Amino acid sequence: MHTLYYFSGTGNSMHVSLELAKRTKAEVKPMLKEKDFRLEGDVGLVFPIHMNSLPKPVETFIEKSDFSKVTYLYAVSTHCGIPGKPEHYLNDILMKKNRTLDDYHSVKMINNTPKGVAPKFLMRMNWEEDITKEKVEDMIRCTDVAIEEIAYRINNQSTDFKEERIRGNAKPSLMNKLLWKIKGSPKLEFKVDHSCLGCGLCEKVCLAQRIKVDKNPQWIKEECYYCYACFNFCPEQAISVKHYEKKNGRYHYPSITSEQIANQK
Higher-confidence residue of 212 and 184: namely 212
Same domain, 218 and 99: no
Which range (75-79, 98-102, 143-147, 174-178) has the least confidence? 174-178
Last residue of a domain, one of 166, 182, 198: 182
Same domain, 164 and 242: no
Query: Domain containing 211 — which CATH number?
Result: 3.30.70.20
Higher-confidence residue of 36 and 182: namely 36
Same domain, 36 and 127: yes
Residue 98 pLDDT = 92
Last residue of a domain, one of 130, 150, 182: 182
Which range (54-68, 101-115, 170-184) has the least confidence? 170-184
Same domain, 98 and 178: yes
Same domain, 169 and 205: no
Number of domains comprising the chain? 2
Higher-confidence residue of 173 and 207: namely 207
Tell me if the pTM is above 0.75. Answer: yes
- For residues 8 and 47, what is the distance between their CA atoms, to the nearest angstrom? 6
* Residue 50 scores a pLDDT above 80: yes
Residue 187 pLDDT = 76
How much of the chain, in percent, has pLDDT values that exceed 90? 73
Residue 31 pLDDT = 98
Residue 146 pLDDT = 97
* Residue 184 scores a pLDDT above 60: no
* Residue 182 scores a pLDDT above 60: no
Q: What is the pLDDT of residues 117-165, one digit of tens each?
A: 777 777 888 999 999 999 999 999 999 999 999 999 999 999 988 777 6
Range of 248's domain? 190-262
Same domain, 97 and 224: no
